Structure 1
Amino acid sequence: MNTISDQRISWWQKLRTENNRFRLVFLCSFASLGSWMPGFNIWLQDQGMGGTAMGFLAAIPWLVMLLVQPFWGILADKTGKIYCFRLSVLLAALLFGIFPLLAKASMWIGIMTCCFAVFQTPVLPLLDSITLDHAAMDHTISYSRLRFWGAPGFGLGAWLTGILSTTYGSDVSFYLTAAFLLSAWLIARKLEPPPAVVAAADLSFKGLGQTLNNGILFSFLLVVMLVSITQSASSFFLTVYMREIGAAASITGTAIGVQSLSELPFYFIAAWLLRKTNAGKVLVIAIWGTALRFLLYYLNGNPYMVISIESLNGITWTLLWISSVEFVNEKVPAQWRTTGQSLLWAMYFGAGAVAGNVLIGSLYETMPMRQIFGIFSIVVFITGIFSLLLFVKPSKTKPLMVQNVA
């Protein structure tokens, strides 16, 4: 009898490892993002917002990220990343929980969106930084193997939101977000604070002038921003498009769940492709995959077919992001890599997401989402041609020479 009891204790102890805690925190943190982000515009539409207002309100979290991230970095340096992570997660959970109760008019929706964004946007950058520190100390695990659990987490959040909102309305997305964030906070309380190995997210852009002297890198950042603007249609307005073609909330949730799960094999495929070829070629594949995805949205009118289209997300997002990170690392000398990666984040998640939401919201006032996807498919295809000419030729991909630093 004692042997069986000992086996159960041993099994339970194996589950309660530090690595498994990190996996669960990634799962819950990304599930919280999947619960609110894809359906935020649907909720705004349910409040009677027009396209332009939706675009501006949906852009707020990404604008806030650019403004407050440096302050979170300073606070993390002063008080510790794990403390800042727990604080941001807990306060974000509280604000999401009360959001539907207080956000009853345009002004209050804007104010409350700013409030939750202040604490929600640093959650994932801080978690990334903490995980990188942990992986640097524990050589049995890698960052990518822990970050892997974010994709099924995002899919879980989106799927549950789709299922529950059919019965309880779109407000349920905020309550689910709060529940997942609270779960992440409870698990994170058990995490051991690792020694700081990786600096907190740096968006101060030190070395900005020297970095942008690289013309190819500058062109690359403009391409990334343009692709981000168009991908905002599938990231933030997909639920609006699906409602437009008659999809039930449960079908929408399933489609977004498939979107997230399709990323998983492409973490490995991306690594294989980058060993076989260069980051510029993989980037072009991702851009043309995005053009194809948008064309399929334009041609399609069947809600169930969107579930199949979402399987392209591994090509259009995972390949795009991993190749972009590698491209920046190749083009920027070691002493400026933090600046380079910060610029990549700022152009894709900051400038691109803000401009994309505002532009798409304005276009939606005058045309359906299907037509917007059709226009964007042409724009992205042309961008892919220019990217092929700019980033694939060997003569165009030489890295910057490292200058002597006195």
Structure 2
Amino acid sequence: MSTHAPIPFLRLSGFYLAYYAALGAFTPFWNLFLKARGFDVAAISVLMSLWYATRIVAPSTWSWLAGRSPRPVTWLRLGCLLTLLTFAVFLLPLNLAAMFLAMSAFCFFYNAVMPQFEALTLSHLGGRSESYGRIRVWGSIGFIGVVLALGVLFDHVSVQWLPALMLPLYGALLASACANDYAPSANQPAEAASDGFGERLRQPGVLAFFVVALLMQVSFGPLYTFFSIYLEEHGYRAATLGLYWGLGVAVEIVMFYASARLLRRFGALALLLASLLAAALRWTLTGLWPGQPAILALAQILHALCFAAFFAASMQYLAVYFPGRHNGHAQGVFYGFSSGVGGVLGALGSGYAWQYGNGRLAFLLAAGVALVAALVAVIWLRPKRDRQQQRKQP
């Protein structure tokens, strides 16, 4: 693809808007929905871990199938269709076993599609991966709009209405998938996408990057699994929960807009380290002072670094280390290893910590994990080499 080819910003942004709008309903409120359905903390931690467990296999499986197809976008659209159909099952009353099966199926397909769409987006960006933030920011806008609206709504209606409210968002996701396609150069007959991939994956810097990504995701375990319950236990109402989640995503939007400039000025490694240190501080503040609204707000503001800066830097690393058709496979490994394995460890680990020391212990352990990730990055990621590789990117 020519580096001067127009980028379909509107169509690409629409998919992120729909996907993360649905996530804006799922992440803050699904644990409250499960609690309202009568499940205890142990059951909720297991059910929420399925969101991450399916990431171990779903992204790589779907990306592998798409990478060997002459029309890879077909797999994206099929995944979105199956996401819609499996989510509709939550409209029914389900016991624990049925909920386990339903969440396994839904989470598999929902997690399968985003890594493939990331590769689709990067196929349009080519050597302009720093422009990724301008597209991805619309996902944050969708997230914040939904989380604020539902936070207010659930002060007046039962959270058990959540599945019915979310279903149209998955319909919009399917419509957006049908409107998008890979850049023309990415729709050539499939080559052996694995050729040379293992060699790239075994490079020390690449391995260190994936370990850092895994540890960062582990540290997010208490936030994604129990944050809303944690605040509810400290007397916060649903609307206030929405405000705190929304605050984190609002600053995330600013960071995504600024990410291209920051990457050009400081490089991916500097943003990576800043995000890891910010995560350690964020989890410490959340664990020690949940009853202090101002401190909790500061902790949520750090989401700009913990998530947005980390994610933008990660996309830059993946674009450099795995160019071309390798990128789809790399996206699958990235999501499967970090969000999948790391997410399961974070969800289950925070569940155990919660049982033995409540939320405080869970968040303080998360801070320690983030510091270990920063240490790995300092020792094994090489700033000069990484900046040189980024400058060589076309």
Q: What is the TM-score of this pair, normalised by structure 1?
A: 0.80
The aligned amino acid for 1:177 is: M
Aligned residue for 2:377? 387
Equivalent position of 1:247 in the other structure: 236
By how many angstroms is 1:135 displaced?
A: 5.6
Q: Using the alignment, how far apart are the partners of 2:263 and 2:11 within structure 1?
A: 30
Larger radius of gyration: 1
Match of 1:298 among 287, 291, 296: 287
Cα gap change, 1:150 to 1:79, in 2 (>3 Å): same
Amino acid at match of 2:217: S
Which is further off, 66-75 or 154-163?
Answer: 66-75
1:311 is aligned to 2:311: no
3-state SS of the aligned residue for 1:166? Answer: coil
Match of 2:25 in 1: 35
Match of 1:326 in 2: 316
Q: Which residue of 1 aligns with 2:349?
A: 359
Change (3 A) 1:388 1:129: closer
Q: Cα 1:351–1:135, aligned 2, differ >3 Å: closer, same or farther?
A: same
Note if 1:93 corresponds to 2:98. no
Rounded to whole Å, the distance in 2 between the matches of 1:199 and 1:358 is 40
The partner residue of 2:185 within 175, 182, 197 is 197
Contact preservation (8 Å) 2:206, 2:321: yes
Q: Which of 251, 255, 278 pairs up with 1:262?
A: 251
Q: 1:185 to 1:331 in 2, by over 3 A?
A: closer
Q: Shift of the alpha carbon at 1:360?
A: 1.1
Cα separation, partners in 2 of 1:299 and 1:166, compared to 1, 3 Å: same
Provide the identity percentage. 21
CA contact (8 A) 2:132 2:312 kept: no
Deviates further, 85-94 or 279-288: 85-94
Q: Deviation at 1:182?
A: 1.5
Do the aligned residues in 2 keep the contact of 1:267 with 1:318 (CA within 8 Å)? yes
CA deviations on 1:363-401 (whole Å, 9 max, x unpaired) are: 2222211221123223423442443343356479887xx
Show the counterpart of 1:215: 204
Separation of aligned partners in 2, 1:263 and 1:192: 25
Query: Quick one: distance in 1 between partners of 2:89 and 2:153?
Result: 18
TM superposition shift of 1:260: 1.5
8 Å contact kept, 1:35–1:174: no
- Between the aligned partners of 2:61 and 2:344, the Cα distance in structure 1 is 20
Q: Which moved more, 1:329-338 or 1:52-61?
A: 329-338
Q: Are 1:80 and 2:71 an aligned pair? A: yes
Deviates more, 1:358-367 or 1:388-397: 388-397
Deviates more, 1:313-322 or 1:66-75: 66-75
Q: Is the 8 A contact 1:163 1:249 kept in 2?
A: yes
Opposite residue 200 of structure 2, the aligned amino acid is: T
Give yes or no for the alignment of 1:283 onto 2:266.
no
Deviation at 1:79, TM superposition (A): 7.5
CA RMSD of aligned residues (A): 3.4
Higher relative contact order (CA 8 A, sep 6+): 2
**Aligned letter for 1:172?**
W
5+ unaligned residues in a row in structure 2: which ranges? 1-7, 390-394
Q: 2:166 — aligned with what? A: 177
Q: Which moved more, 1:329-338 or 1:279-288?
A: 329-338
How many matched pairs?
376
TM superposition shift of 1:335: 8.6
Matched residue, 2:106: 116
Partner of 2:4: none
The 1:374–1:205 alpha-carbon spacing in structure 2 relative to 1, beyond 3 Å, is farther
Residues 274, 282 of structure 1: 8 Å contact kept: yes
The CA deviation at 1:99 is: 0.4
* Aligned-pair CA distance for 1:280: 2.2
Q: CA deviation at 1:89?
A: 2.8
Give the 3 Å change call, closer, same or farther, for CA 375–330 of structure 1 in structure 2.
Answer: same
- Give the 3 Å change call, closer, same or farther, for CA 186–340 of structure 1 in structure 2: closer
Partner of 1:6: none
